[in-house]
Amino acid sequence: MLYEEIGTAAGVVWRFLEQNGPATASRIKKDVPLPPGMVDRAIGWLAREEKIEVDGKGRNVEFKTK
């Protein structure tokens, strides 16, 4: 089921941020072994669940764990 895949991807992205610190979506997509669209979904999931903080504007947005 897609929800399960997104939840799993969210865990991968969250662990990446926890281990590596703040990162842009571009860096996450480059360094995490997931399809780019799934990274976007995972970031959205984490943001909605308030598990990450979003800092910056425009192309300079970084994500970090809370």
d(CA 51, CA 45) in angstroms, rounded, equals 9
Tokens encoding 58: 């425009």
Domain boundaries, the chain: 2-65
d(CA 25, CA 1) in angstroms, rounded, equals 24
Structurally, at CATH architecture level, domain 2-65 sits in Orthogonal Bundle (1.10)
pLDDT tens digits for range 1-53: 788 999 999 999 999 999 999 999 999 999 999 999 999 999 999 999 999 99
Give the predicted TM-score (pTM) of the model.
Answer: 0.93
